[in-house]
Amino acid sequence: MIRRFKNVVIETVCRLMTPFLQLFGLYVIAHGHYSPGGGFQGGCILGSSFILMAISYDIDFAKKYMSEIKATVYACLGVIIYGGIGMVCLLIGANYLDYGILHTILPVDLARARAMGILGIEIGVGITVMAVMVSIYLNLVSGGRHVEEKVE
Amino acid sequence: MIWMLDFLILVIVLICAISAIMAKDLLSSAMLLGTFSFLVCMLWALMGAVDVALIEAVVGAGISTALFIGTIYQTSRKAYRQKVGIKIFPLIAVVLTGCAFIYGTIDMPDWGDPESPASVHVSPRYIEKTVEETATPNAVTSVLADYRSYDTFGETVVIFTAGIVCIVLLRRSDDKKV
Amino acid sequence: MDFIITKYHYWFYVSLMMVGLYAMIVKKNFVKKLVGMNIFQTSIILFFVSSATKIHATIPIIQETEGIINPAHYMNPLPHVLMLTAIVVMVSSFGVALALLIMIYKKYKTLDEDEILDIMRNKQ
């Protein structure tokens, strides 16, 4: 296990950094149309903010915000959002993942409808990537035994 | 693109790679790999691949180093029983492979050639039509999530599967009894 | 001289690939083998991304809102897209490999290839 040693400087700086890191991750996801960024990058930044909490405090502190069950549910949710947007396009009458058809149900023109579809997909990808990164880190660092440690 | 800066970063990348291989301590090997990733990220920013540079800065220099160090704490830190010295037969095989690849680069298009086959086939259409068709100025995002979203869907499912595989491999609720 | 200037990037990528391949063949420690694999993958991705560069071009974010867009002014976005997803898949497969290493260490208490082979031979 990773040994825990308390250090006021590390804990305070990491706690101060975490909200700005998460805000930047959300910005990178949402502003991916106009600047470098997108779902993969923003999801990795969001995941690394949880990893930073797990490093600077300990794993149980990070698990209060992103437990294993939550991470698994979020990973499934992201894939379902991605596939669901494709299924919506299929149900309206276009091909799978052809977002142009969304302009019939959204109050925007065709090009903007495709931009909206891209945004939805980036959100799905971001949620999946964040959850998978956190879940891999929690399992690797604790060797898969993190529930028992909390009980003891 | 500045010629000298590019050459300098490539040389330092090569030195970092070799010393990450040679290091006796696995922890310093992990840190050198993080340095390697960060220098490669700078190289991509110089090449104009900003999206790739952003993700390499987060993933290569950040998350994968954290995963690496977590694993080294779980297992052992020393890379023992490795004899110092260069094995001659693998070296010959590797050098022959490298020579074959270098012979292949003679017929490659010049580095940064605007008329290279990769740059004239399908990508001009993406660049010309991205604002008109998808209202997205960033061509990388529109190609990623619109023109080639089947591809991205597959990649997302691969990442999801990797996460599930990690849980299946490592989670043991009755580990203490065994 | 002109030939060297237009081709030396490729030679650096090939030498990085050689370093990674040598580590994967020779090193006995599994973590060192993983380091070699990471370097190998990075060199392949470097080669792929470098096929997207154009001299005197800028990043693939379109600045003109009207008028004709000249594709020679922007980098090729397609290799960037393919390699962006490849890097994320690379780190998640790296996580799976590290999980396998932890399982091997739990069973054999070592990560050295020769020692594991000795233990397996002695069991038979």
pLDDT at C69: 84
> pLDDT category, A110, cuts 50, 70, 90?
confident
Spell out which residues of chain C touch residue B48, defining contact as CB-CB under 8 Å.
Answer: 52-53, 57-60, 75
CA-based nearest residue in chain B for residue C110? B76
pLDDT tens-digit map of C70-79: 888 888 999 9
Spell out which residues of chain A touch residue C85, defining contact as CB-CB under 8 Å.
Answer: 40
Spell out which residues of chain C touch residue B64, defining contact as CB-CB under 8 Å.
Answer: 38, 91, 94
pLDDT at C71: 84
Better pLDDT: A40 or C2:
A40
Q: Are B31 and B25 in contact (CB under 8 A)?
A: no
pLDDT tens over chain B, length 178 residues = 577 888 899 999 999 999 999 888 889 999 999 999 999 999 999 888 999 999 999 998 889 999 999 888 888 877 765 566 678 898 999 999 999 999 998 888 888 888 888 888 888 899 888 888 888 899 999 999 889 989 999 999 999 999 999 988 888 765 554 4
CA-based nearest residue in chain B for residue A1? B74
Spell out which residues of chain A touch residue C84, defining contact as CB-CB under 8 Å.
Answer: 38, 40
Token readout for A137 is: 């880190």
Q: Are A29 and A39 in contact (CB under 8 A)?
A: yes
Q: Is the pLDDT of residue A37 over 90?
A: no
Q: Are A143 and B169 in contact (CB under 8 A)?
A: no
**Quick one: which of C102, A53, A150 has its CA closest to B71?**
C102
Token readout for A94 is: 């276009």
pLDDT at A120: 92
pLDDT at A151: 43
Share the mean pLDDT of chain C.
89
Share the mean pLDDT of chain A.
87
Which of residues 32 through 91 in chain B touch C, CB cutoff 8 A? 33, 36-37, 40, 43-44, 47-52, 55-56, 59-60, 63-64, 67-68, 70-72, 74-76, 79-82, 87, 90-91
Q: Is the pLDDT of residue C124 over 60?
A: yes
Q: Which ranges in B23-148 belong to alpha helices (H)?
A: 26-47, 50-58, 64-74, 88-105, 117-120, 123-134, 139-142
pLDDT at B80: 65
pLDDT at A78: 94
Q: Tell me phi and psi for residue B77, to 5 degrees.
A: -100, -25
* Residues sharing a CB contact under 8 Å with residue B89, sequence separation 6 or more, in sequence order: none
pLDDT at B122: 87
Q: Are C44 and C3 in contact (CB under 8 A)?
A: no
Spell out which residues of chain B touch residue A38, defining contact as CB-CB under 8 Å.
Answer: 51, 138, 140-141, 144-145
Q: Do A140 and C84 touch (CB under 8 A)?
A: no
Q: Are C12 and B101 in contact (CB under 8 A)?
A: no
pLDDT tens-digit map of C12-54: 999 999 999 999 998 888 999 999 999 999 999 999 998 888 8
**Quick one: which of B56, B74, B4, B61 has its CA closest to B30?**
B61
How close B58 gets to chain C, by Cα (Å)? 10
* Residues sharing a CB contact under 8 Å with residue C38, sequence separation 6 or more, in sequence order: B33, B64, C20, C90, C94
Token readout for A143 is: 């060797």
Q: CA of C77: how far to CAs of A1, A111, B117, B156, C116, in Å?
A: 43, 20, 14, 20, 46
Total-model pTM: 0.90
Token readout for B157 is: 């499912």
The shortest CB-CB distance from A48 to any of B63, B134, B137 is to B63
Average pLDDT over residues A18-37: 92
Q: Is the pLDDT of residue A1 over 60?
A: no
Instruction: Please tell me which chains touch A, using 3 or more CB pairs under 8 Å as the contact test.
Output: B, C
The neighbour count for residue C19, using CB atoms within 10 Å, is 21
pLDDT tens-digit map of A94-104: 888 888 888 88
